[in-house]
Structure 1
Amino acid sequence: MKDNKVLLVRRAIDPGKGLWTNPGGYIEQHEPIEQTVVREVLEESGVSAMVKEVVAIRDLPRDIHNLYVAFSMEYIEGEPCPDGMEVDAAGFFSLQEIEHMNVAGFTRWLVDVAFHGKNQGLIVDQNPIVPLTGYSLFRVSTHL
Protein backbone atom coordinates (compact mmCIF):
# COMPACT_ATOMS: atom_id res chain seq x y z
CA MET A 1 0.00 0.00 0.00
CA LYS A 2 1.08 3.54 -0.74
CA ASP A 3 -1.14 6.62 -0.32
CA ASN A 4 -4.21 4.38 0.20
CA LYS A 5 -3.53 2.58 -3.09
CA VAL A 6 -2.48 -1.03 -3.62
CA LEU A 7 0.31 -2.22 -5.92
CA LEU A 8 -0.87 -4.39 -8.84
CA VAL A 9 0.88 -5.79 -11.90
CA ARG A 10 -0.60 -7.00 -15.21
CA ARG A 11 0.46 -10.49 -16.21
CA ALA A 12 2.22 -10.66 -19.60
CA ILE A 13 2.30 -14.48 -19.66
CA ASP A 14 0.08 -17.37 -18.65
CA PRO A 15 -1.25 -18.27 -16.23
CA GLY A 16 -3.45 -15.21 -16.08
CA LYS A 17 -2.12 -13.30 -19.11
CA GLY A 18 -3.84 -9.88 -19.24
CA LEU A 19 -5.11 -10.04 -15.66
CA TRP A 20 -4.08 -7.61 -12.95
CA THR A 21 -2.66 -9.42 -9.92
CA ASN A 22 -0.61 -8.77 -6.84
CA PRO A 23 3.12 -9.32 -7.43
CA GLY A 24 4.23 -12.78 -6.39
CA GLY A 25 6.06 -15.90 -7.36
CA TYR A 26 7.72 -19.10 -6.34
CA ILE A 27 10.08 -19.64 -3.45
CA GLU A 28 13.59 -20.72 -4.47
CA GLN A 29 15.25 -23.62 -2.69
CA HIS A 30 16.75 -22.50 0.66
CA GLU A 31 15.19 -19.02 0.33
CA PRO A 32 13.21 -17.75 3.33
CA ILE A 33 9.67 -16.82 2.34
CA GLU A 34 9.97 -13.20 3.48
CA GLN A 35 13.02 -12.78 1.19
CA THR A 36 11.04 -14.34 -1.67
CA VAL A 37 8.25 -11.79 -1.25
CA VAL A 38 10.64 -8.83 -1.22
CA ARG A 39 12.52 -10.21 -4.26
CA GLU A 40 9.39 -10.96 -6.30
CA VAL A 41 7.84 -7.53 -5.65
CA LEU A 42 11.08 -5.82 -6.70
CA GLU A 43 11.58 -8.02 -9.78
CA GLU A 44 8.02 -7.67 -11.08
CA SER A 45 7.32 -4.04 -10.20
CA GLY A 46 10.56 -2.21 -9.41
CA VAL A 47 9.16 -1.31 -5.97
CA SER A 48 11.15 -1.95 -2.79
CA ALA A 49 9.02 -3.04 0.15
CA MET A 50 9.44 -4.75 3.51
CA VAL A 51 7.33 -7.62 4.85
CA LYS A 52 5.01 -6.57 7.69
CA GLU A 53 2.71 -9.51 8.33
CA VAL A 54 0.92 -12.53 6.91
CA VAL A 55 -2.65 -11.45 6.13
CA ALA A 56 -4.14 -14.38 4.24
CA ILE A 57 -3.60 -17.98 3.15
CA ARG A 58 -5.19 -19.74 0.19
CA ASP A 59 -5.17 -23.53 0.04
CA LEU A 60 -5.61 -24.94 -3.48
CA PRO A 61 -5.62 -28.75 -3.32
CA ARG A 62 -5.09 -30.42 -6.69
CA ASP A 63 -2.58 -32.78 -8.35
CA ILE A 64 0.21 -30.35 -7.42
CA HIS A 65 -1.03 -28.88 -4.15
CA ASN A 66 -0.60 -25.09 -3.98
CA LEU A 67 -0.51 -23.03 -0.83
CA TYR A 68 -0.47 -19.25 -1.27
CA VAL A 69 0.70 -17.01 1.56
CA ALA A 70 -0.23 -13.32 1.27
CA PHE A 71 1.71 -10.59 3.07
CA SER A 72 1.08 -6.95 3.76
CA MET A 73 4.18 -4.92 3.09
CA GLU A 74 5.54 -1.51 3.94
CA TYR A 75 6.45 0.60 0.91
CA ILE A 76 10.10 1.71 0.98
CA GLU A 77 10.84 3.29 -2.41
CA GLY A 78 10.50 3.07 -6.17
CA GLU A 79 8.01 3.86 -8.88
CA PRO A 80 6.14 0.93 -10.43
CA CYS A 81 7.88 -0.31 -13.57
CA PRO A 82 7.03 -3.67 -15.21
CA ASP A 83 9.82 -6.19 -15.78
CA GLY A 84 8.80 -6.58 -19.45
CA MET A 85 8.87 -10.38 -19.24
CA GLU A 86 6.30 -11.67 -16.74
CA VAL A 87 4.63 -8.29 -16.27
CA ASP A 88 3.74 -5.64 -18.88
CA ALA A 89 2.23 -2.96 -16.58
CA ALA A 90 2.46 -2.00 -12.92
CA GLY A 91 1.02 0.70 -10.70
CA PHE A 92 -0.63 1.75 -7.47
CA PHE A 93 -4.43 1.78 -7.74
CA SER A 94 -7.30 2.97 -5.56
CA LEU A 95 -10.25 0.77 -4.71
CA GLN A 96 -12.38 2.82 -7.14
CA GLU A 97 -9.88 2.31 -9.99
CA ILE A 98 -9.65 -1.42 -9.32
CA GLU A 99 -13.43 -1.81 -9.68
CA HIS A 100 -13.06 -1.09 -13.42
CA MET A 101 -9.95 -3.22 -14.06
CA ASN A 102 -9.60 -6.83 -15.21
CA VAL A 103 -8.41 -8.12 -11.82
CA ALA A 104 -7.97 -11.83 -11.05
CA GLY A 105 -10.47 -13.25 -8.55
CA PHE A 106 -7.93 -14.15 -5.86
CA THR A 107 -6.39 -10.69 -6.20
CA ARG A 108 -9.82 -9.05 -5.79
CA TRP A 109 -10.14 -11.01 -2.56
CA LEU A 110 -6.67 -9.84 -1.42
CA VAL A 111 -7.54 -6.23 -2.29
CA ASP A 112 -10.57 -6.60 0.00
CA VAL A 113 -8.26 -7.94 2.73
CA ALA A 114 -5.89 -4.99 2.20
CA PHE A 115 -8.58 -2.32 2.35
CA HIS A 116 -10.96 -3.86 4.89
CA GLY A 117 -8.83 -6.11 7.12
CA LYS A 118 -9.36 -5.08 10.75
CA ASN A 119 -6.92 -7.29 12.68
CA GLN A 120 -3.16 -7.41 12.69
CA GLY A 121 -1.93 -10.50 10.87
CA LEU A 122 0.85 -12.90 11.77
CA ILE A 123 4.24 -11.21 12.16
CA VAL A 124 7.77 -12.59 11.92
CA ASP A 125 8.86 -13.97 15.29
CA GLN A 126 12.24 -12.25 15.71
CA ASN A 127 12.96 -13.90 19.07
CA PRO A 128 11.42 -17.38 19.25
CA ILE A 129 11.57 -19.09 22.63
CA VAL A 130 13.50 -21.95 20.99
CA PRO A 131 16.29 -21.20 18.48
CA LEU A 132 15.17 -22.69 15.17
CA THR A 133 17.88 -21.61 12.73
CA GLY A 134 16.75 -21.68 9.13
CA TYR A 135 13.04 -21.51 9.94
CA SER A 136 10.64 -18.73 9.01
CA LEU A 137 8.33 -18.40 12.00
CA PHE A 138 5.23 -16.20 12.08
CA ARG A 139 2.97 -15.62 15.08
CA VAL A 140 0.23 -13.40 16.43
CA SER A 141 1.76 -10.24 17.85
CA THR A 142 2.11 -10.09 21.61
CA HIS A 143 2.17 -6.26 21.40
CA LEU A 144 -1.36 -5.21 20.53
Structure 2
Amino acid sequence: MTAKFCMQCGQPMAIKEIDGTDRLACTSCTFVHWGNYSIGVGALVVRDGQVLLVRRAIEPGKGNWTNPGGYIEQHEPIEETIEREVLEESGVRAKVKEIVAVRDQPRDIHNVYIAFSMEYVEGEPEPDGFESDGAGFFSLEEMKQMKVATFTQWLVDIALNGRGSGLRADKEPIASFNGFGFSNAVNK
Protein backbone atom coordinates (compact mmCIF):
# COMPACT_ATOMS: atom_id res chain seq x y z
CA MET A 1 0.00 0.00 0.00
CA THR A 2 1.29 3.43 -0.92
CA ALA A 3 0.80 6.45 1.31
CA LYS A 4 -1.44 8.96 -0.45
CA PHE A 5 -1.59 11.66 2.22
CA CYS A 6 0.99 13.23 4.51
CA MET A 7 1.19 11.83 8.04
CA GLN A 8 2.02 15.32 9.39
CA CYS A 9 -0.33 17.73 7.63
CA GLY A 10 -2.74 15.53 5.62
CA GLN A 11 -1.91 17.05 2.23
CA PRO A 12 -1.34 14.85 -0.86
CA MET A 13 1.96 13.00 -1.32
CA ALA A 14 3.91 13.00 -4.60
CA ILE A 15 7.07 11.39 -5.94
CA LYS A 16 10.06 13.75 -5.60
CA GLU A 17 13.76 13.16 -6.10
CA ILE A 18 15.42 13.42 -2.69
CA ASP A 19 19.07 12.49 -2.11
CA GLY A 20 19.22 11.01 -5.63
CA THR A 21 16.27 8.65 -5.06
CA ASP A 22 12.61 8.96 -5.99
CA ARG A 23 10.68 9.14 -2.72
CA LEU A 24 7.16 9.94 -1.59
CA ALA A 25 7.11 13.44 -0.13
CA CYS A 26 4.45 15.87 0.96
CA THR A 27 3.38 18.47 -1.60
CA SER A 28 2.89 21.05 1.16
CA CYS A 29 5.27 20.50 4.12
CA THR A 30 8.75 18.94 4.52
CA PHE A 31 7.60 15.37 5.38
CA VAL A 32 9.35 12.60 3.45
CA HIS A 33 8.29 8.95 3.57
CA TRP A 34 11.69 7.24 3.78
CA GLY A 35 10.36 3.71 3.23
CA ASN A 36 8.79 0.76 5.00
CA TYR A 37 10.94 -1.14 7.50
CA SER A 38 10.54 -3.82 10.10
CA ILE A 39 13.09 -4.88 12.69
CA GLY A 40 12.92 -8.41 14.04
CA VAL A 41 14.89 -9.89 16.90
CA GLY A 42 15.76 -13.47 17.76
CA ALA A 43 17.16 -15.21 20.83
CA LEU A 44 19.83 -17.85 21.10
CA VAL A 45 19.48 -19.14 24.64
CA VAL A 46 21.83 -22.03 25.45
CA ARG A 47 21.60 -24.06 28.67
CA ASP A 48 23.84 -27.05 29.29
CA GLY A 49 24.74 -27.32 25.58
CA GLN A 50 21.09 -27.26 24.48
CA VAL A 51 19.33 -24.47 22.57
CA LEU A 52 15.90 -23.05 23.45
CA LEU A 53 13.42 -23.58 20.60
CA VAL A 54 9.70 -22.99 20.24
CA ARG A 55 7.31 -24.61 17.75
CA ARG A 56 5.35 -22.02 15.81
CA ALA A 57 1.59 -22.28 16.21
CA ILE A 58 0.84 -19.56 13.62
CA GLU A 59 1.99 -18.62 10.14
CA PRO A 60 4.51 -17.95 8.83
CA GLY A 61 6.26 -21.21 9.54
CA LYS A 62 3.48 -22.93 11.48
CA GLY A 63 4.77 -26.29 12.76
CA ASN A 64 8.45 -25.36 12.46
CA TRP A 65 10.77 -25.22 15.44
CA THR A 66 12.45 -21.81 15.67
CA ASN A 67 14.38 -19.71 18.12
CA PRO A 68 12.10 -17.34 20.08
CA GLY A 69 11.79 -13.85 18.66
CA GLY A 70 9.55 -11.15 17.31
CA TYR A 71 9.36 -7.52 16.25
CA ILE A 72 10.38 -4.44 18.17
CA GLU A 73 7.72 -2.08 19.48
CA GLN A 74 7.98 1.59 18.51
CA HIS A 75 9.11 2.89 21.93
CA GLU A 76 10.67 -0.25 23.39
CA PRO A 77 14.46 -0.62 23.70
CA ILE A 78 15.64 -3.56 21.57
CA GLU A 79 17.13 -5.43 24.56
CA GLU A 80 13.78 -5.27 26.35
CA THR A 81 12.07 -6.49 23.17
CA ILE A 82 14.04 -9.72 22.92
CA GLU A 83 13.84 -10.45 26.65
CA ARG A 84 10.06 -9.92 26.50
CA GLU A 85 9.66 -12.11 23.40
CA VAL A 86 11.62 -15.00 24.96
CA LEU A 87 9.50 -14.82 28.12
CA GLU A 88 6.20 -14.56 26.20
CA GLU A 89 6.90 -17.40 23.78
CA SER A 90 8.69 -19.83 26.10
CA GLY A 91 8.22 -18.84 29.75
CA VAL A 92 12.02 -18.61 30.11
CA ARG A 93 13.80 -15.55 31.50
CA ALA A 94 17.03 -14.64 29.72
CA LYS A 95 19.31 -11.60 29.55
CA VAL A 96 21.07 -10.23 26.47
CA LYS A 97 24.80 -10.99 26.21
CA GLU A 98 25.71 -9.83 22.69
CA ILE A 99 24.61 -9.52 19.07
CA VAL A 100 25.74 -12.58 17.13
CA ALA A 101 24.07 -12.29 13.72
CA VAL A 102 22.27 -9.84 11.45
CA ARG A 103 20.07 -10.65 8.44
CA ASP A 104 19.32 -7.96 5.87
CA GLN A 105 16.30 -8.63 3.63
CA PRO A 106 15.65 -5.72 1.25
CA ARG A 107 12.12 -5.97 -0.16
CA ASP A 108 8.86 -3.94 -0.17
CA ILE A 109 9.01 -3.86 3.62
CA HIS A 110 12.76 -3.91 4.26
CA ASN A 111 13.38 -6.39 7.08
CA VAL A 112 16.40 -6.37 9.36
CA TYR A 113 16.71 -9.22 11.85
CA ILE A 114 19.13 -9.09 14.78
CA ALA A 115 20.00 -12.29 16.67
CA PHE A 116 21.20 -12.09 20.26
CA SER A 117 23.15 -14.55 22.34
CA MET A 118 21.36 -14.62 25.67
CA GLU A 119 22.18 -15.83 29.15
CA TYR A 120 19.65 -18.23 30.64
CA VAL A 121 18.33 -16.84 33.96
CA GLU A 122 15.42 -19.05 35.07
CA GLY A 123 12.28 -20.91 34.10
CA GLU A 124 11.30 -24.12 32.40
CA PRO A 125 10.14 -23.87 28.78
CA GLU A 126 6.40 -23.67 28.34
CA PRO A 127 4.67 -22.53 25.13
CA ASP A 128 2.36 -19.53 25.25
CA GLY A 129 -0.43 -21.45 23.47
CA PHE A 130 -0.89 -18.73 20.87
CA GLU A 131 2.33 -18.06 18.95
CA SER A 132 3.99 -21.27 20.15
CA ASP A 133 2.56 -24.70 20.91
CA GLY A 134 5.81 -26.35 21.99
CA ALA A 135 8.95 -25.20 23.79
CA GLY A 136 12.10 -26.80 25.13
CA PHE A 137 15.88 -26.95 25.25
CA PHE A 138 17.19 -29.32 22.58
CA SER A 139 20.53 -30.83 21.62
CA LEU A 140 21.81 -30.95 18.04
CA GLU A 141 21.09 -34.69 18.03
CA GLU A 142 17.44 -34.12 19.03
CA MET A 143 17.08 -31.35 16.41
CA LYS A 144 17.98 -33.81 13.64
CA GLN A 145 14.59 -35.49 14.25
CA MET A 146 12.68 -32.19 14.41
CA LYS A 147 11.34 -29.85 11.74
CA VAL A 148 13.74 -26.96 12.48
CA ALA A 149 13.43 -23.92 10.21
CA THR A 150 16.44 -23.40 7.91
CA PHE A 151 17.18 -19.94 9.26
CA THR A 152 17.08 -21.30 12.82
CA GLN A 153 19.53 -24.04 11.82
CA TRP A 154 21.95 -21.30 10.76
CA LEU A 155 21.46 -19.46 14.05
CA VAL A 156 21.91 -22.65 16.11
CA ASP A 157 25.22 -23.22 14.31
CA ILE A 158 26.26 -19.72 15.40
CA ALA A 159 25.07 -20.29 18.98
CA LEU A 160 27.00 -23.53 19.41
CA ASN A 161 30.18 -22.79 17.44
CA GLY A 162 31.71 -19.86 19.27
CA ARG A 163 32.09 -16.16 18.73
CA GLY A 164 34.47 -13.95 16.79
CA SER A 165 35.63 -10.42 17.46
CA GLY A 166 32.76 -8.71 15.66
CA LEU A 167 30.24 -9.22 12.89
CA ARG A 168 31.52 -10.39 9.51
CA ALA A 169 29.69 -11.08 6.27
CA ASP A 170 28.81 -14.78 6.08
CA LYS A 171 29.40 -15.48 2.39
CA GLU A 172 28.91 -19.24 2.80
CA PRO A 173 26.19 -19.88 5.42
CA ILE A 174 25.33 -23.50 6.21
CA ALA A 175 22.00 -23.02 4.40
CA SER A 176 21.08 -21.11 1.22
CA PHE A 177 19.14 -17.86 1.71
CA ASN A 178 18.68 -16.66 -1.89
CA GLY A 179 21.34 -13.95 -1.81
CA PHE A 180 20.17 -12.00 1.23
CA GLY A 181 22.84 -10.37 3.37
CA PHE A 182 23.97 -12.16 6.52
CA SER A 183 26.57 -11.32 9.12
CA ASN A 184 27.71 -13.32 12.11
CA ALA A 185 30.41 -13.51 14.73
CA VAL A 186 31.38 -17.16 14.27
CA ASN A 187 35.02 -18.24 14.04
CA LYS A 188 35.18 -20.71 11.14
Q: Measure, in 1, the Cα distance between the counterparts of 2:96 and 2:165.
A: 13
Match of 2:71 among 20, 26, 35: 26
Instruction: Give the fraction of aligned pairs with identical amino acids, expressed as a percent.
Output: 72
Contact 1:48–1:78, Cα closer than 8 Å, also in 2? yes
Matched, 1:114 2:159: yes
Conserved? CA contact 2:90–2:128, under 8 Å: yes
Deviation at 1:74, TM superposition (A): 0.3
Q: CA deviation at 1:117?
A: 2.7
Give the C-alpha shift of residue 7 in structure 1.
0.1
Deviating above 3 A after TM superposition, structure 1's stretches of 4 or more consecutive aligned residues are none
TM-score normalised by length of structure 1:
0.82
Please name the residue that 2:102 is paired with: 57
Distance 2:59 2:48 in 1: 30
Query: Does the alignment pair 1:81 with 2:134?
Result: no
Q: TM-score, normalised by structure 2?
A: 0.63
CA distance in 1, matches of 2:165, 2:119: 14
Distance 2:163 2:83 in 1: 24
Which structure exhibits the higher relative contact order, with contacts defined as CA atoms closer than 8 Å and separated by 6 or more residues?
1
Match of residue 133 from structure 1 = none
The RMSD of aligned alpha carbons is: 1.4
Give the one of 104, 107, 112 matched to 1:67: 112
Aligned length: 123
> Higher strand fraction: Structure 1 or Structure 2?
2
Deviation at 1:78, TM superposition (A): 0.1
Runs (5+) with no aligned partner, structure 2: 1-45, 168-188
Quote how far apart the aligned CAs of 1:34 are: 0.5
- Please report how far the alpha carbon of residue 121 of structure 1 lies from its aligned counterpart in structure 2 after TM superposition: 5.1
**Contact 2:54-2:136 within 8 A present in 1 as well:** yes
Which structure has greater helix proportion?
1
- For the residues of structure 2 that align with 1:98 and 1:23, how far apart are their CA atoms? 15
Letter in 2 for 1:96: E
CA contact (8 A) 1:53 1:72 kept: yes
Indicate whether 1:103 and 2:148 are aligned. yes
Cα displacement string for residues 45-102 of structure 1 (whole angstroms, at most 9, x for unaligned residues): 0000000000000111111110000000000000000000000000000011112210
In structure 2, how many angstroms separate the alpha carbons of the residues matched to 1:121 and 1:39?
A: 25
